[in-house]
Amino acid sequence: MATLNGSQSTIKALLASDISICFGNPGTSEMHFLAALDQIKGIRCVLGLHESIVTGAADGYYRLSGKPAVTLLHLAPGLANGLSNLHNAKKANSGILNIVGEHATYHLKYDAPLSGDIEGVARPMSHWVKTSTDVDRVSHDAALAASIAKEKSGQIATLILPADVSWLSTEVISPAVDPMPLKRVEASVIQSIAKTIHQYKNVVLLLGGVALRGKALAYAGKIAEKTGCRILSEGQNARIERGHGRVAVQRLPFDVKGAQETLKDTQHLILIGAKLPIAFFAYPNLPSLLIPQNCEVFTLATHENFVELALEDLMVELGAQNIVEKTSVFTLNSMPTGDVNTDSLGQFLGACLPDNAIVVDEAVSTGRGFFKPTEQARQHDWLNSMGSSLGYALPVAIGCAIAQPDRPVVALVGDGSAMFSVQSLWTMARENLNVTVLIFANKAYKILKNELVSVGLTSPTQTALNMLSLSSPTLDWVSMAKAHGVEGFRVGKIEALVKIFNHCINQRGTQLIEVDL
């Protein structure tokens, strides 16, 4: 058998594990790996100009393709830069395989400048961490890491690859390792939940994760139609399929009072790929748990279960399989005119989102009300930040556009959020990705101004206000777009927005629209 080096055998194992993309930002310790990516074809390489772009892109790629990407990161500092979007990806149950380069094993004891505790940095944002120290085992470790990234609806696996393990010779290439299959929900659980739905009023099915897509969502719709139970989704969702032809699902409101109001009559709550509804933050005199005190909670399925099958079994148990579920119908309401504001923007999206759009939402305060007016939009997917660490939308949009190159990606981003990962624009331009970026330029961390009022500071001085303002100087988004190789526009009126948005959507490549609020 031909002799390979450790990196080459790792890449062979990744290819055998159906991994076909690497988002990365390499350094010297990853040069053998990069050289191997160059020699053994089959893995597309995409450069991100900061590691949060790399990890966010891998998150978006998984959400649309269901396949883990590899990220290539440079020692502890490179991984640390990527942690914020790994946090978001972990909360979204996205499968990612991080490959982090490390100094050669014998070099570590000298404490060279870039040396650090990679395992320690990796652990909080990973489900699995391993330093591969034996060149004859490294391809198996890579295959194992790939299988772990695919398990339980997606996990974060971090494989640390010392430089000497990369360059030493081996004849071992591991075959793919089969991921552990999802667990089927037991018949007794299905039967007892079916009985509850049958017996009681005020039952809510709370859907999360894959329950909000495809057949699973249709099954939930049939169950609701047959039994009269309500279906809701969590406040944030990794990817929800909605708009024309899809079952409309109300989202739990972000604010504690709104969520409590939505759930106030609920006596039986059934969790389906969703977590118990809790407040985003604790506030004095407000509860953490959003369900009424006497509400009984049941779990039909978690992300470790085969959620679609659990819903199918429940539907059959309830005799709802031949029921026709109620779905949204695209309705073109009259187009708003005049100033852009949160209401007119919602109506604009409802009317103008193109068919099959992928909407990546980090619109923060501007987008709070976007869900309702887009319920009857054309068919689309809507992605939220699951970990709420800012700077998620632009990188995730990269991954979405690469996973589904023929679909229009629309990124809705607050100006503050966009600044966390603005160099994503460069990768979008370089890869000629089909993304339209809307920047909601209110020149502030507006949501935090509201939070300041809610902690009781009704007349803040410049000390606090300066920490929440993005003016002086004003960020110039059209120039920012141009600097990254992207065409940019600025609009202040809905009429201009409609015109330019339609122009952007009908063109390949990346465009940015600064919405001047």
Ligand X SMILES: Cc1ncc(C[n+]2csc(CCOP(=O)(O)OP(=O)(O)O)c2C)c(N)n1
Q: Which residues bind ligand X (CB under 6 A)?
A: 84, 364-366, 388-390, 414-417, 442, 444-448
Least distance CB 366 / ligand X (angstroms):
5
What residue 447 binds from ligand X, Mg ion, none (CB within 5 to 8 A, per partner kind)? ligand X
Least distance CB 517 / ligand X (angstroms):
9
Nearer to ligand X, 243 or 416 (CB): 416
Report the Cα–Cα distance between both ends of the chain, in Å, rounded.
Answer: 64
Least distance CB 61 / ligand X (angstroms):
21
Nearer to Mg ion, 94 or 389 (CB): 389
* Look-up of token digits 């999802």: 182
Q: Which string of b and e fits 344-372 if b means at least 16 CB within 10 Å?
A: bbbbbbbbbbbeebbbbbbbbbbbeebbe
What residue 385 binds from Mg ion, ligand X, none (CB within 5 to 8 A, per partner kind)? none
> Listing from the earlier edge strand, what are the strands of the sheet with 156-162?
44-47, 21-24, 69-74, 96-102, 156-162, 128-131
Nearer to Mg ion, 71 or 417 (CB): 417
Least distance CB 148 / Mg ion (angstroms):
38
Q: Which are the contacts of 272, defined by CB distance < 8 A and separation ≥ 6?
A: 205, 206, 207, 208, 211, 220, 300, 301, 307, 310, 311
Nearer to ligand X, 57 or 318 (CB): 57
Measured distance CA(433)–CA(48) in Å, rounded: 14
Count residues binding Mg ion (CB under 5 A): 4
Nearer to ligand X, 13 or 390 (CB): 390
Nearer to Mg ion, 176 or 419 (CB): 419
Q: Which residue is nearest to ligand X (CB)?
A: 414
Site for Mg ion contains 95 (CB under 5 A): no
Nearer to ligand X, 16 or 470 (CB): 470
Measured distance CA(278)–CA(263) in Å, rounded: 12
Which element (helix H / strand E) includes 450? helix 446-454
Measured distance CA(480)–CA(485) in Å, rounded: 9
Least distance CB 412 / ligand X (angstroms):
10
Least distance CB 144 / ligand X (angstroms):
31
Nearer to ligand X, 3 or 472 (CB): 472
Least distance CB 363 / ligand X (angstroms):
7
Measured distance CA(381)–CA(508) in Å, rounded: 19
Token pair, residue 141, equals 């470790």
The full DSSP string for 5-47 is: EHHHHHHHHHHHTT--EEEE---GGGHHHHHHHHHS---EEEE
Nearer to Mg ion, 367 or 399 (CB): 367
Least distance CB 241 / ligand X (angstroms):
26
* Look-up of token digits 């996973």: 403
Indicate the residue type of 22. C
What residue 417 binds from ligand X, Mg ion, none (CB within 5 to 8 A, per partner kind)? ligand X
- Between the CA atoms of 372, 375, 381 and 386, what dihedral angle is there, to the nearest 10 degrees? 30
The full DSSP string for 148-199 is: HHHSTT--EEEEEEEHHHHHSEE---PPP-PPPPPBPPPHHHHHHHHHHHHH
Going from the C-alpha of 399 to that of each of 84, 137, 173, 335, the distances in angstroms are 16, 30, 29, 31
What residue 356 binds from Mg ion, ligand X, none (CB within 5 to 8 A, per partner kind)? none
Tell me if 271 sits within 8 A of 245, measured CB to CB: no
What residue 156 binds from Mg ion, ligand X, none (CB within 5 to 8 A, per partner kind)? none
Least distance CB 493 / ligand X (angstroms):
20
Measured distance CA(14)–CA(119) in Å, rounded: 21
Nearer to ligand X, 303 or 446 (CB): 446
Least distance CB 327 / Mg ion (angstroms):
35
Least distance CB 1 / ligand X (angstroms):
48
What residue 390 binds from Mg ion, ligand X, none (CB within 5 to 8 A, per partner kind)? ligand X
What residue 365 binds from Mg ion, ligand X, none (CB within 5 to 8 A, per partner kind)? ligand X
What residue 10 binds from Mg ion, ligand X, none (CB within 5 to 8 A, per partner kind)? none
Site for Mg ion contains 442 (CB under 5 A): yes
Tally of helices (H runs) and strands (E runs) in the chain: 19, 20
Nearer to ligand X, 94 or 132 (CB): 94
Measured distance CA(12)–CA(41) in Å, rounded: 10
Measured distance CA(114)–CA(96) in Å, rounded: 24
Site for Mg ion contains 516 (CB under 5 A): no
Write out the binding residues for Mg ion, residues 142-161 only, by CB under 5 A. none
- Contact pattern from residue 398 through residue 437 relative to Mg ion, giving x for each residue in contact according to CB under 5 A and a dash for the rest: ----------------xxx---------------------
* Look-up of token digits 């993309």: 21
What residue 399 binds from Mg ion, ligand X, none (CB within 5 to 8 A, per partner kind)? none
Half-sphere exposure of 266 (CA within 13 A, CB side): 28
Where do contacts with Mg ion occur on this chain (CB under 5 A)?
Answer: 414-416, 442
